[in-house]
Amino acid sequence: MTKTASNTTAPTQLLEVNGLRYAYRRFGNGSGRPLLFLQHFTGTLDNWDPAVTDPLASGREVILLDNAGIGRSTGEVPETMAEMANHVFAFLDGLRLPTCDVLGFSLGGVIAQQMAQDRPSIFRRMILVGTAPRGGEDIMRLEKPSLAKHIQDPTNRGYDVLKKIFFTSSPTSQAAGQAFIGRLLQRKDDREPPSGPNVGSAQLAAFREWERFTGDRFADLKGIRHPTLVVQGFKDEMIPVRNSYWLAENLPNAVLLAYPDAGHGSLFQYADSFTKHAADFLSSESDSVVF
């Protein structure tokens, strides 16, 4: 635990496990259970908005992780969610953390679901933002025109593309996107190397595998009993909101919170509201998700 409870200043640490090195940050304090952050497609530790991490770090430790092959974490980026989940297990076992809460965003929300199925005791409560169940649809189809026009636009350099694909085209949402990028850039030193194209291609392969299902669609979700807060923007082009409907309807113990005029980055656009509801949810000791 560091003394500096912000993702703008928390030092990046390295943990050696099984011959691999995982890059992570751990900061904050309070009586709450540690909260693990699992990151979106191609994102690194530097993609976590301090407006989301820092308020949550005021009531508990937060732990941000780069999965294998991301940022300064070594190893290969896996092409399945199950292998990515195994890396997170190895990391948490290396930290000697038998259980925690989790905030999984997008790709990270899929990994969280996989982990909850593979080892239920690893999580107490889950927050799944902008994500999809196995068998979901239209997940990260970057080639579709509504996304490709932004991703392929050469004027969208660096974080600028996030303003286009994580936020809606409304002036309000675009302004929130600009503010989000400004917050990501507040961290000046000890930054992670950005992901290269190999990261995206492996993670996309994992998403394609995640869209496939056998047997009763969404039946796997019935076995995930964890209290789960599902959060989504109604205008998400990257993982459309119907995926969160399926997720929350089929998880036996989930509440759905959906935001207007928000895309994939709803948690960043409405960081004050999101962190307030998330903290209320996490502070409950009930077996029920309802808070």
Question: Quick one: which of 52, 248, 278, 279 contacts a copy of itself (CB under 8 A)?
Answer: 248
Query: Residue 145: is it exposed, middle or buried by C-beta count within 10 angstroms (0-12/13-18/19+)?
Result: exposed
Query: Which run of H or of E encompasses 232?
Result: strand 228-233
Question: Quick one: which of 34, 270, 275, 279 contacts a copy of itself (CB under 8 A)?
Answer: 270
Establish if 252 lies at the interface with a copy of itself (CB under 8 A).
yes
Complex with a copy of itself: residue 161 or 255, whichever CB lies closer: 255
Establish if 234 lies at the interface with a copy of itself (CB under 8 A).
yes
- Ramachandran angles phi, psi of 14, nearest 5°: -125, 135
Q: How far apart are CA 247 and CA 195, in angstroms?
A: 29
CB of 256 to a copy of itself, least distance (A): 4
Q: Quick check: 81 and 118 in contact, CB under 8 A?
A: no
Task: Find the part of the chain contacting a copy of itself (CB under 8 A) among 2-10, 99-107, 177-185, 244-252.
Answer: 244-252
Question: Quick one: which of 116, 254, 267, 278 contacts a copy of itself (CB under 8 A)?
Answer: 254
Query: Roughly how many angstroms between the first and final C-alpha of the chain, as a whole number?
Result: 28
Establish if 220 lies at the interface with a copy of itself (CB under 8 A).
no
Q: Quick check: 59 and 279 in contact, CB under 8 A?
A: yes
Establish if 132 lies at the interface with a copy of itself (CB under 8 A).
no
Using CB under 8 A, list all residues that contact a copy of itself.
Answer: 234, 241, 245, 248-249, 251-261, 270, 273, 289-291
